[in-house]
DNA sequence: TCCTCAACCGAATGATCGGTCGGTTTTTGG
DNA sequence: CCAAAAACCGACCGATCATTCGGTTGAGGA
């Protein structure tokens, strides 16, 4: 493996597990065997390294999620949602560091001032939400799902599933054993007619407000 | 306000908004007007300051949530849950810094090695989950709610609501406008009979596994 | 009034960090 | 095979950080 890739891999793990500020370049040199100067030969500074890590996370997560879900396009909408939820939980388990990084506060803080960072995060969440939304929309069409706004419901399903993975990550309760209940809850939520429709008009807005 | 309280207040805000490592003692001295030495007169080091901040967050959040929800004990269980969800969303809005801190990765990292930190976090999550669980249990008893395990369902509701507040915090979509949909989803989820029951036996386990 | 003790101050310190730079090695393409 | 470019090295630097310490202030009790 090239030093560049070794640095990227180590940075991904350390940024995710220990945080950006608490990861020193000297720690990266120890793990990768690269010299201090090599890091700054490939990346202009530490923040640039972080942005490259995030870019990798973006492509890894989005392509993996797309690949896992696209095979079920022909199934009934309700089953598609269930499969998407299971896929998301699998993904979070297989790409632990990537999801840990996305669950940290730091990327969103950087996103406030850095357009590249904001774009990477937008890309991830747009991908995830679009897929959930697509499954729900299919379910509405084929009659397996009754709900007001597909977009709003996708947000809620996503918040639920992502919330569970967070609880699992932080060792709060044995959240990993809740997966069956999560899926059952999704089905209940989608089968019942949510009549509020308070946000149907916003269903077509972009994912990020400003 | 005593210097000690001023330091605690400023540290709460800065640890929440900027993070622990990225908050320097010199920044605290500038904001509070206290000298560098004064910080270490009241707290033996920076981590001790953090633990005191977290302890404050614990009492603030738990007592506020208890107070908000205890008035509705006599209502039907389903209405209790709705009110608890609304209360949680209000709380997250009123105590922005406290929730921001609880949504950071750092406290959970410290909790792995520090028993006081772990206790504070346990206390917060036990309080929140117990209240949600109590509402659901009341609903099961009075027939307004059908669900398998009250504990598991409480976890899922909590994950959903907390997930939405996180999306809101990080400016992902206009999550704040989803509150009505969230409540409607909770009702759908609780009204339908979730027959899985896969985790009913774990309903009495402690909140934290190990 | 004086003693005591806690609150408070701010300069000093040693360690660490991100980043630079001049040089060496390796790779590559003609 | 050779030259040019890219990868890589590690000593070095200024800045910043958490923490220490000797001294000052101020309130309260005897």
- ipTM value for the complex: 0.91
Distance B139 CA to D4 C1' (A): 78
Structure token pair of residue B122: 């346990």
Distance B44 CA to C14 C1' (A): 19
pLDDT in tens, A147-162: 889 999 999 999 999 9
Answer whether residue B201 shows pLDDT above 60: no
What pLDDT was estimated at residue A192? Answer: 74
pLDDT in tens, A42-93: 999 999 999 999 999 999 999 999 999 999 999 999 999 999 999 999 999 9
- Residues from chain A that touch B78, judged by Cβ atoms under 8 A, are none
What pLDDT was estimated at residue A199? Answer: 44
Please give the Cα distance from B115 to B24 (Å, whole number).
24
Distance A108 CA to C27 C1' (A): 39
What pLDDT was estimated at residue A207? Answer: 56
Nucleotide of closest approach to A37 (CA, C1'): D9
pLDDT tier for residue A198 given thresholds of 50, 70 and 90: very low
What pLDDT was estimated at residue B192? Answer: 74
Mean pLDDT on A20-30: 98
pLDDT tier for residue B206 given thresholds of 50, 70 and 90: very low
Mean pLDDT on B153-177: 91
The torsion of the CA quartet B96, B98, B104, B105, rounded to 10 degrees, works out to -170
- Residues from chain A that touch B149, judged by Cβ atoms under 8 A, are 181
Answer whether residue B153 shows pLDDT above 60: yes
What pLDDT was estimated at residue B207? Answer: 55
- CB pairs A-B closer than 8 Å: 181
Residues near chain D (nucleic strand), Cβ < 7 A? Answer: A 2-4, 33-38, 40-42; B 21, 23-27, 36-37, 39-41, 44-47
Answer whether residue A202 shows pLDDT above 50: no
Nucleotide of closest approach to B40 (CA, C1'): D19
pLDDT tier for residue B172 given thresholds of 50, 70 and 90: confident
Q: Is B132 buried (19+), middle (13-18) or exposed (0-12) by CB count in 10 A?
A: buried
Nearest Cα of chain B lies from the Cα of A60 at a distance, in angstroms, of 20
Answer whether residue A2 shows pLDDT above 50: yes
The torsion of the CA quartet A85, A89, A90, A91, rounded to 10 degrees, works out to 100
What pLDDT was estimated at residue A197? Answer: 44
- Residues from chain B that touch A81, judged by Cβ atoms under 8 A, are none
What pLDDT was estimated at residue B165? Answer: 95
pLDDT tier for residue B170 given thresholds of 50, 70 and 90: confident
**Distance, CA of A180 to chain centre:** 20
CATH architecture for the domain at A45-194? Orthogonal Bundle (1.10)
Work out the percent of chain B whose per-residue pLDDT is above 70.
91
Mean pLDDT on A123-145: 96
pLDDT in tens, B34-74: 999 999 999 999 999 999 999 999 999 999 999 999 999 99
Work out the percent of chain B whose per-residue pLDDT is above 90.
84
Q: Where are the domains positioned within chain A?
A: 1-43, 45-194
What pLDDT was estimated at residue A172? Answer: 80
What pLDDT was estimated at residue A208? Answer: 56
Please give the Cα distance from B165 to B128 (Å, whole number).
15
Nearest CA in chain B to A188: B189
Angle separating helix axes B96-103 and B150-169, nearest 10 degrees: 110
Nucleotides on strand D with an atom closer than 7 A to protein CB? 7-12, 16-22
Topology of the domain comprising B1-43:
Arc Repressor Mutant, subunit A (1.10.10)
How many CB atoms are closer than 10 A to CB A71? 10
What pLDDT was estimated at residue B171? Answer: 80
Nucleotide of closest approach to B1 (CA, C1'): C7
Distance A47 CA to C25 C1' (A): 28
Distance A100 CA to D8 C1' (A): 31
What pLDDT was estimated at residue B210? Answer: 39
Nearest Cα of chain A lies from the Cα of B21 at a distance, in angstroms, of 7
Nearest Cα of chain A lies from the Cα of B151 at a distance, in angstroms, of 10
Nearest to A21 among B22, B152, B172 (CB): B22
Topology of the domain comprising B51-197:
Tetracycline Repressor; domain 2 (1.10.357)
Mean pLDDT on A105-113: 97
What pLDDT was estimated at residue B208? Answer: 56
How many CB atoms are closer than 10 A to CB B180? 15
pLDDT tier for residue B193 given thresholds of 50, 70 and 90: low
Nearest Cα of chain A lies from the Cα of B2 at a distance, in angstroms, of 31
Answer whether residue B194 shows pLDDT above 70: no
What pLDDT was estimated at residue A96? Answer: 97
Given an 8 Å threshold on Cβ–Cβ distance, is A167 in contact with B159?
A: yes
Answer whether residue B202 shows pLDDT above 50: no
Nucleotides on strand C with an atom closer than 7 A to protein CB? 7-12, 16-22
């Amino acid at each position: 493996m090239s030093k560049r890739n070794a640095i990227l891999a180590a940075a991904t793990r350390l940024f995710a597990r220990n945080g950006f500020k608490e990861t020193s370049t000297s720690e990266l040199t120890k793990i990768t065997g690269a010299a201090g100067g090599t890091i700054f030969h490939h990346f202009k500074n530490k923040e640039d390294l972080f942005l490259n890590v995030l870019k990798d996370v973006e492509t890894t997560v989005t392509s993996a999620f797309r690949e896992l879900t696209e095979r079920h396009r022909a199934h009934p909408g309700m089953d598609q949602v269930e499969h998407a939820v299971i896929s998301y939980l699998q993904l979070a388990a297989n790409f632990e560091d990537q999801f840990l990084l996305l669950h940290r506060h730091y990327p969103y803080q950087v996103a406030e001032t850095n357009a590249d960072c904001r774009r990477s995060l937008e890309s991830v969440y747009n991908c995830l939400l679009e897929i959930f939304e697509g499954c729900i929309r299919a379910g509405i069409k084929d009659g397996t799902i009754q709900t007001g706004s597909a977009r709003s419901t996708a947000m809620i399903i996503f918040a639920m599933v992502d919330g569970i993975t967070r609880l699992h990550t932080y060792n709060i309760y044995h959240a990993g054993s809740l997966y069956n209940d999560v899926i059952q809850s999704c089905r209940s939520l989608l089968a019942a007619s949510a009549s509020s429709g308070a946000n149907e008009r916003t269903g077509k807005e972009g994912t990020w407000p400003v």
